[in-house]
Amino acid sequence: MTRYKLILEYDGSPFVGWQRQDNGPSVQAALEEAVFGFCGERTTVQGAGRTDTGVHATGQVAHVDIEKSVESATVAKALNAHLKPAPIAVLAAEPVGEDFHARFSATGRRYLYRILCRPAPPAVLRGQVWWVPQRLDPNALQAGADRLLGHHDFSSFRASECQAASPEKTLDELRIEARDCGPGGLEIKVHAAARSFLHHQVRNMVGTLRLVGQGKWSPERVTQALEARDRRAAGPTAPAAGLYLTDVTY
């Protein structure tokens, strides 16, 4: 038996999330069916991040155990063939030791959140960004983001259904990148990095920062929300469509 590490890209729009569920198609189930179609084996594909409904990935990592002896390039090619027409691609596959675990061996995760600020709604990027009709102030966004860096109790940015043992996390990066795009348009990218995140943490932080970017909140109020340790003290949850899991480190 060989354990393979898989690097994955997917459009989360048609899925109920990464994890296999009874209420709709999942990325995990699609991959497991592709493994069965390729080698006739029923196995579990373990992912590094349990992305939610509608969340995308450009650098998700997973692992799978396969008894059939095949080359790595063949694994990726065969899985991609059996994944069609699902919007999932295996970018790479490589054999790893039995002690490797996509989720528990990870030492860091990076997410990207994309916001499109312009009066006109997205057409090509529909389902890929959060459309905000008003222009946001990138400097104000960064000032608010800086208040969240470091080790904190992130209860104010934690979903009620979060199963993490502790609300304490260390946020290593929360960086704002902005560029003009098209007539009157501004694309804002929020880069977030940490060893791990709470459920909805990134989306709740982005939803809060939007209020700062609109001038409705001061950066100081972000600190107040953080220190409250109460979800009701922070801003709304940003939509899933703008969120991407971009990298997992080991």
| Residue 202 to residue 231: CA distance in whole angstroms | 13
63 and 149 share a domain?
no
Angle between helices 201-213 and 138-146 (to 10 degrees): 130
Q: Which two tokens stand for residue 157?
A: 């940015």
- Asked if residue 102 is part of any domain, the answer here is no
132 and 81 share a domain?
no
Catalytic residue among 52, 146, 172, 230: 52
* Catalytic residue list contains 99: no
Containing structural domain, residue 210: 108-249
- Asked if residue 152 is part of any domain, the answer here is yes
113 and 68 share a domain?
no
The domain spanning residue 53 has which CATH number?
Answer: 3.30.70.580
Write down the pLDDT at residue 69.
83
- Asked if residue 229 is part of any domain, the answer here is yes
118 and 19 share a domain?
no
Residue after which a domain boundary falls, among 63, 96, 129: 96
134 and 226 share a domain?
yes
Write down the pLDDT at residue 209.
98
- Asked if residue 101 is part of any domain, the answer here is no
Write down the pLDDT at residue 73.
86
* Backbone angle region of 96, left / alpha / beta, with phi > 0 → left and psi within -120 to 50 → alpha: beta
Q: Give one DSSP letter per residue of 208-240, joined into a string.
A: HHHHHHTTSS-HHHHHHHHHHT-GGGS-PPPPG
Residue after which a domain boundary falls, among 71, 96, 121: 96
174 and 58 share a domain?
no
Cα three-residue angle 42-43-45, rounded to 5 degrees: 140
Residue after which a domain boundary falls, among 62, 96, 130: 96
Write down the pLDDT at residue 22.
87
- Asked if residue 221 is part of any domain, the answer here is yes
81 and 18 share a domain?
yes
Number of domains in the chain: 2
116 and 231 share a domain?
yes
142 and 238 share a domain?
yes
- Asked if residue 146 is part of any domain, the answer here is yes
- Asked if residue 7 is part of any domain, the answer here is yes
The domain spanning residue 236 has which CATH number?
Answer: 3.30.70.660
183 and 205 share a domain?
yes
128 and 215 share a domain?
yes
113 and 92 share a domain?
no
Query: pTM score, two decimals?
Result: 0.95
- Asked if residue 70 is part of any domain, the answer here is yes
Per residue of the chain (250 residues), what is the pLDDT tens digit?
A: 999 999 999 999 999 999 998 889 999 999 999 999 999 999 999 999 999 999 999 999 999 999 988 888 899 999 999 999 999 999 999 999 999 999 999 999 999 999 999 999 999 999 999 999 999 999 999 999 999 999 999 999 999 999 899 999 999 999 999 999 988 899 999 999 999 999 999 999 999 999 999 999 999 999 999 999 999 999 999 999 999 999 999 9
H helix or E strand, kind and range, residue 238: none
